[in-house]
A and B are shown apart, each in its own frame.
Chain A
Amino acid sequence: MLNQVQEQTEGVRYLTKVVEGTYTSPLLLVGEEGVGKRFSVLQAIKQSASQGNPEDPAIFQIDSKAHPDVSIIESEGGKDIGIDAVRGVLSRAVTYPMMAPYKYLVVDGADRLTIPAANAILKTLEEPPEKTRFFLIAESSDRVIPTIRSRCSRVRYKRLSEKFVLETVRNFVPDVTKSLVYTRLAEGSLGRALYYFGSSRLGLRDRSFGLIKAGLSGDLSSLFSAVNNIGKEDLGLALRFFEHLLYDLAMLPYAPDKVANLDLVDELQSVRSSLGDKRIRGLQRGLYDLLLRSRYTQITLDFHVKTYLALAFTE
């Protein structure tokens, strides 16, 4: 139920109005991954479908994706959502509800819809059926087509507080330092913190740190093969960790309490003294340019990373 949703006051306010039936406009929930957008939508649907009764079988049906009035369109394996995935669900979503007071249509990944799929949804949003409630979830509203954006009320989901994420992570990670590392690397996203923990992503973070060490050795052959090895795993995420490591290296003498990689403080100290302030700033600047380029163009990331590191460590 909605009372289980933490820290997202704006989202809860809108969703409560939808549950009460006083707000009928489609909602576009925007925020980073893992901050509770989908969770809060499902809680709102459960509350609405069960009429607030925690023992109602509708809650179980929604949890097991078997409720006839709840349709969810979502991206599979990080791919874009195509028209085929949308068409069937839309035809069901516009019919009269069978059990709940409304039909609920959740589009988890409104920023991942292909143009034909987005247009199909837009057509339904233009003339929304009286008994259907729409929830569109996106990480970035810029990537949602403007015509859909203009027909939805935008609800912003902020990053979760470090205190809240830490408390939750502590339930899974007893080690205090490690749990703080997961929390800080996740940057206010509970989902991300649990993903890092569940898939042992600290190993990838360590390999990212290894790039700095390989760079300091000046041996391009080993530096490039390290990049190739990381590339087989997840180079994008490794760069995210790399950004954190550079931030920590920069902040270590000035704000040691803000450091994310607390388990690597000693190593960070020694790397910092080898690199020096100027080179750390250069690395941060170069990484910023690289991330900017990769955001707007489909570049061959491994080659760009190799160039960035080679230039940073050999010049």
Chain B
Amino acid sequence: MARSAGPFTVVYGDEGFLLDRAIETKRLQWKQQKRSTTLLDGESTTEGQFLALCETQSIFEDDLRAIVLDNAQELKVGKRLEGYLTNKNPKDLSTIILIVYRGANLAKSWTEAVKKGSEEHYNKFKPWELDKVYKRTVDEAKQLGLRLGKGVPEMLHYALGDNLRSVVNELRKLSYLVGPNGLVEKVDAASVVAPDVPVEPWQVAEAALSKNPVKAMNLVALLHAYMGDGFVVPVTIGLQRQVEKILVARQMLDKGDAISTIAAAMDKSEFFCQKNVIPVARRHTVRELLGHMNTLCKLESRVKGAARSKRTLVELAVLSIAA
């Protein structure tokens, strides 16, 4: 990736964590070279300001300088800047300019800078390139002096997604947990990662009212695994809201109201109503739904009170709706 050194270094890509790391690495190098560093943000810098800084040097500054232009994609490149990039002497290394372009593809206006220096790019992997993702996780772990056991990169990916910053954060935590040169097993990884819950409480309500008890109960089990008993109130409220909506739709259907009228009453689009609400409403009667509302009122009082086995109470309510 890196080419011959020149006054410009362009780093680009959509993997923000690696771009930040590249900036830090360069800054450390410059520090050793005793270069003074100036940081600019392309979002709040104009072409004129950038050029003025590149072309003029204060008498109070060191002889060797480095300028970092972060968010270069936000800076509008005009003719003056293009001229500066073209005419810059490639052998003049008194001022080094690091251009950080946060985007997958580098804009043409910066290619002249690449010709006079070096380029590095750090792009995210494609969703199907899982092997590369896992390999990168292993490499990052090695840098921290860790060895990853079987299934750990997969587990980290499942819990955190393709978010390298979070993965490295978790690896740092693990390095404290298992110590230098330690082997990270799945149980260690599970103790530090805080995965997002892959299911929402309203999905239980949706499955229950669609008369799909298997899906509803599986979702309840999954929620319980992630949230513990904390899932009971959100699921109850989700069921309440969903049952109320379906009851209104069912009653309007019975009255012979048009779908457009039902959609307007529910403040939803006609398409949404036709696709998601009406088929569910047809599976219930008004009488049944009223019974469910009554059950859910009692359930709420109990799960918010001092009842025991709240999970069982919720499961019974879900089953009674889904059955």
Known: A297-B304, A303-B244. A221 touches B252 (CB 8 A): yes
Q: Is A216 an interface residue (CB 8 A)?
A: no
The docked-state distance in angstroms from the alpha carbon of A310 to that of B250 is 13
Q: Which residues of B contact A220 (CB under 8 A)?
A: 247-248, 251
A-B contact pairs, 23 of them (CB 8 A): A220-B251, A221-B248, A224-B244, A224-B248, A293-B297, A297-B300, A298-B304, A299-B297, A299-B300, A299-B301, A299-B304, A303-B240, A303-B244, A303-B293, A303-B297, A306-B244, A306-B293, A307-B293, A307-B296, A310-B247, A310-B290, A311-B294, A314-B290
Q: Which residues of B contact A225 (CB under 8 A)?
A: 265
List 10 additional A-B contacts (Cβ < 8 Å) besides A221-B265, A307-B297, A311-B294.
A220-B248, A220-B251, A224-B244, A303-B244, A303-B296, A303-B297, A304-B297, A307-B290, A310-B293, A311-B290
Q: Which of B232-248 touch A at CB < 8 Å?
A: 237, 240-241, 244, 247-248
Q: Which of A221, A299, A306, A311 gathers most chain B CB within 10 Å?
A: A221
Q: Tell me the interface secondary structure of chain A in the complex.
A: helix
Using a CB–CB cutoff of 8 Å, the interface residues on chain B facing chain A are: 237, 240-241, 244, 247-248, 251-252, 265, 286, 290, 293-294, 296-297, 300-301, 304-305
Task: Classify chain A: how many residues form its interface, as a range.
Answer: 10 to 19
Q: Which residues of A contact B301 (CB under 8 A)?
A: 293, 297, 299
Q: Which residues of B contact A311 (CB under 8 A)?
A: 290, 293-294
Q: Which residues of A contact B244 (CB under 8 A)?
A: 224, 303, 306
The docked-state distance in angstroms from the alpha carbon of A220 to that of B240 is 15
The docked-state distance in angstroms from the alpha carbon of A304 to that of B299 is 11
Q: Which residues of B contact A126 (CB under 8 A)?
A: none
The docked-state distance in angstroms from the alpha carbon of A310 to that of B293 is 9
The docked-state distance in angstroms from the alpha carbon of A220 to that of B241 is 14
Q: Which residues of A contact B251 (CB under 8 A)?
A: 219-221
Q: Is A254 an interface residue (CB 8 A)?
A: no
Q: Which residues of B contact A303 (CB under 8 A)?
A: 240-241, 244, 293, 296-297, 300
Using a CB–CB cutoff of 8 Å, the interface residues on chain A facing chain B are: 219-221, 224-225, 293, 296-300, 303-304, 306-307, 310-311, 314-315
The docked-state distance in angstroms from the alpha carbon of A220 to that of B286 is 10
The residue that A300 contacts in the complex, of B240, B247, B286, with Cβ under 8 A, is B240
The residue that A307 contacts in the complex, of B241, B252, B294, B305, with Cβ under 8 A, is B294
A to B contact number (C-beta, < 8 Å):
51
Q: Which residues of B contact A293 (CB under 8 A)?
A: 297, 301
Q: Which residues of B contact A307 (CB under 8 A)?
A: 290, 293-294, 296-297
**Closest CB-CB distance, B232 to chain A, in whole Å?**
13
Q: Which residues of B contact A310 (CB under 8 A)?
A: 247, 290, 293
The docked-state distance in angstroms from the alpha carbon of A220 to that of B290 is 11
Nearest opposing residue in chain B for A290, CB measure: B297
Across the interface, do A300 and B237 meet the contact criterion of CB distance under 8 Å? yes
The docked-state distance in angstroms from the alpha carbon of A220 to that of B237 is 19
**Closest CB-CB distance, A37 to chain B, in whole Å?**
31
The docked-state distance in angstroms from the alpha carbon of A297 to that of B248 is 27
Across the interface, do A314 and B286 meet the contact criterion of CB distance under 8 Å? yes
**Closest CB-CB distance, A218 to chain B, in whole Å?**
8
The docked-state distance in angstroms from the alpha carbon of A300 to that of B299 is 12
The docked-state distance in angstroms from the alpha carbon of A221 to that of B293 is 15
Q: Which residues of B contact A315 (CB under 8 A)?
A: 290
The list of the 5 closest CB pairs from A to B, nearest first, reads A307-B293, A221-B265, A303-B240, A297-B304, A221-B248
The docked-state distance in angstroms from the alpha carbon of A314 to that of B247 is 12
**Closest CB-CB distance, A315 to chain B, in whole Å?**
7
The docked-state distance in angstroms from the alpha carbon of A297 to that of B300 is 9
Q: Which residues of A contact B252 (CB under 8 A)?
A: 221
Known: A220-B251, A221-B248. A300 touches B300 (CB 8 A): yes
**Closest CB-CB distance, A293 to chain B, in whole Å?**
5
The docked-state distance in angstroms from the alpha carbon of A241 to that of B171 is 61
Nearest opposing residue in chain B for A299, CB measure: B300
The docked-state distance in angstroms from the alpha carbon of A306 to that of B237 is 14
The docked-state distance in angstroms from the alpha carbon of A299 to that of B244 is 16
Nearest opposing residue in chain B for A223, CB measure: B248
Q: Which residues of A contact B248 (CB under 8 A)?
A: 220-221, 224
**Closest CB-CB distance, A296 to chain B, in whole Å?**
7
**Closest CB-CB distance, A143 to chain B, in whole Å?**
17
Nearest opposing residue in chain A for B252, CB measure: A221
Nearest opposing residue in chain B for A294, CB measure: B301
**Closest CB-CB distance, B255 to chain A, in whole Å?**
8
Q: Which residues of A contact B305 (CB under 8 A)?
A: 296-297
The docked-state distance in angstroms from the alpha carbon of A296 to that of B301 is 9
Nearest opposing residue in chain A for B236, CB measure: A300
The docked-state distance in angstroms from the alpha carbon of A314 to that of B248 is 12
